[in-house]
Amino acid sequence: FETVGSAVVQRKRLRIRYRKVGSKEVGEREASPQRLVHHRNAWYLDAWCHASEGFRRFALDGIETAELLDQAAKPIALKTLEAELDRGYGIFAGGTPQEAELLFSAEAAAYVAREEWHPAQQSDWLPDGRWRLRLPYVDDRELLMDLLRHAGQVDVLAPAALRKAFAQRLRAAVAALPG
């Protein structure tokens, strides 16, 4: 959207009609755009939402209309924005950070260890060639999608809720198989 880009550059507020991912509900918001973020072939607008009085990340493909307003955008320091929106795994932002602890098989570790899962990740190699990875996340949806790519090659050690969610997704996938 040209209007969204102009609002970021000009530091002006936007009025948007927005549809949340996976929802049919459309809402109207007034936002102070801060930056555009590109993640996995999609663009997002990081902004201060004046309706909710908090930071939000809006998928650009969810913005149905955008109107540039005359009011100046609320200024937010980049460090504040990063601390609020960049602490989790993937594109999901906000919420209470948790730490996932994952253990990859020696076979998977040979290639998975070359990937950066999160800038704050910590990892170590076990003597048998397995690779243990610890990383922050605030919403398990994207992390679970990535873990499912490694089904049978990764064990979710912690937290218990993530381990349970991963097991439920695996069971649902098996149940959906034909025959």
Encode pLDDT of 163-177 as tens digits. 999 999 999 999 999
pLDDT digits (tens, 9 = 90+) for 127-147: 999 999 999 888 888 899 889
Look at residue 12 in the predicted model and tell me its pLDDT: 95
79, burial (CB in 10 Å: exposed 0-12, middle 13-18, buried 19+): exposed
Percentages (nearest 5) of helix, strand, coil residues in the chain: 30, 40, 30
Q: Is the pLDDT of residue 80 over 80?
A: yes
Share of the chain above pLDDT 70, in %: 93
State the pLDDT confidence band at 91, using cuts at 50, 70 and 90: low
Q: Which residues contact 157 (CB under 8 A, 6 or more apart)?
A: 101, 102, 103, 132, 163
The residue type found at 162 is L
State the pLDDT confidence band at 94, using cuts at 50, 70 and 90: low
State the pLDDT confidence band at 42, using cuts at 50, 70 and 90: confident
State the pLDDT confidence band at 16, using cuts at 50, 70 and 90: very high
Q: Which residues contact 19 (CB under 8 A, 6 or more apart)?
A: 25, 26, 62, 64
CA-based nearest residue to 60, from 82, 91, 103: 91
Look at residue 34 in the predicted model and tell me its pLDDT: 94
State the pLDDT confidence band at 57, using cuts at 50, 70 and 90: confident
Consecutive H or E run containing 5: helix 2-10
